[in-house]
Amino acid sequence: MEICNKIINGDCIEVFKTLEEGSVACCITDPPYNYEFIGRKWDDKEIKRRTDRVQEGSSTLVKHIPYGSGLAGGVRNERWYEKNRLNDLEYIKWCEDWGKGLYKICKAGAPVAVFNSSRSIAHVQIALENAGFYTRDIMVYKRHSGIPKGLNLEAKLKKMGHDDAENWKGWHSAFRNEWEAILLVQKPLLNNYWETLQATGVGVFKTINENGTFQSNILENYSNKNKEEKFDHCTVKPLELIMKLIDMFVPPSDENIIIDPFAGSGTTLVAAKILGFNYLGIEIEKEYFPLIEKRLLKTQKRNTMF
């Protein structure tokens, strides 16, 4: 199958079976997180069901995390913990299933960067290691803001009429989350970095910044705020952030193809096109295709060295 510069509608687990082995240079993707996965098929219908139930002015959840994500509520009894553990195992199995297909189509040395929450990134890491990848790092995408989630004990006790509620001021069930994890794994090398780079065109990372400093594994000062583009999608990542990842992970070459098997709003594909790389997107929801195609149509390649 010709895979350059197209979007395929389908389940990536099935689509991977049709793609050539060793044809992809890099994967940058943002799959459904585990709290999005709980007890539901994560598709466009489910996204709308949850986002439609977000109440204006609500302080109970981060606005881009849809309603019903399993972040709050419930009696913490044995059944509750068992259900969550079974969900974790189901999620690991699902990630391992698509990870095995991705492993097959990646070149030796190909980097794979996967966004996920601080709670469930370990599950993705285990799954992709089971699929054959080797872990290189867990990078930090530091967002500009975050709001507290979970139980506010003082407020809860006041609502229940407890006299000592004020004694529990500042006690909550969770911390304010201001970062997301980016798992970085790699398909094993061919003996060493130089031999792999010569054979497949990938394997090493660009670590010098524009100001001459050495690149950290903490990525910050990237934001979607104040952008003209508005997307009907709940987990859009900043375009400049994805461009930075591509710049770090993929040496310039016409032969290097970047894939996103959970294309969503198409940000990885847009970033690849801007930087002059070939790309392939896979998206299970056909409803996102007009958005992706519109973004790609108006995207212009920047002046690059290749």
Amino acid in the structure at residue 77: N
pLDDT digits (tens, 9 = 90+) for 97-140: 999 999 999 999 999 999 999 889 999 999 999 999 999 999 99
Q: Is 306 exposed, middle or buried (0-12, 13-18, 19+ CB in 10 A)?
A: exposed
Report how far apart, in Å, the C-alpha atoms of 238 and of each of 224, 231, 266, 272, 281 are.
5, 12, 11, 13, 17
Strand order of the β-sheet with 278-283 is 6-9, 278-283, 257-260, 26-29, 111-116, 179-186, 134-142, 218-219
What's residue 227's pLDDT?
55
Rounded to the nearest integer, the mean pLDDT of the chain is 86
Quick one: pLDDT at residue 94? 96
Q: How many other CB atoms are found less than 10 A from the CB of residue 272?
A: 30
Question: Count of CB atoms within 10 A of residue 112's CB?
Answer: 24
- The per-residue pLDDT for range 154-175, each reduced to its tens digit, is 999 999 999 999 999 999 998 8
Q: Which single residue is written with the structure tokens 């240079």?
A: 25
Instruction: Give mean pLDDT, residues 259-273.
Output: 97
Cα 275 to Cα 9, 219, 230: the distances in Å are: 24, 19, 22
Q: Which residue has the higher pLDDT, 271 or 299?
A: 271
Give 58's pLDDT tier (boundaries 50, 70, 90). very low
> 230 pLDDT exceeds 70?
no
pLDDT-based confidence at 61, cuts 50/70/90? Answer: very low
CA–CA gap between residue 253 and residue 230 (Å, rounded): 32
pLDDT of residue 225: 53
What's at 62, amino acid-wise? V
Which helix (H) or strand (E) covers residue 26, if one does? strand 26-29
Question: With 80 as the cut, is the pLDDT of residue 46 above it?
Answer: no
Domains and CATH numbers, the chain: 6-143+178-297 (3.40.50.150)
pLDDT-derived band of residue 208, with 50, 70 and 90 as boundaries?
very high
User: How confident is the model at residue 301, as a pLDDT?
Assistant: 78
Tell me the whole-structure pTM to 2 decimals: 0.85
Lowest-confidence pick of 72-76, 110-114, 224-228:
224-228
Q: Where are the alpha helices (DSSP H) in the chain?
A: 12-15, 34-37, 44-51, 78-105, 121-130, 153-160, 193-200, 239-249, 267-274, 289-297
In the prediction, which pLDDT does 65 show?
39
Tell which residue, 68, 82, 73, 78, has the closest CA to residue 35.
68
What's the rounded mean pLDDT across residues 272-289?
A: 96
209 within 8 A of 38, measured Cβ to Cβ: no
Which of 23-37, 49-63, 237-251, 281-295 shows the lowest per-residue confidence on average (mean pLDDT)?
49-63
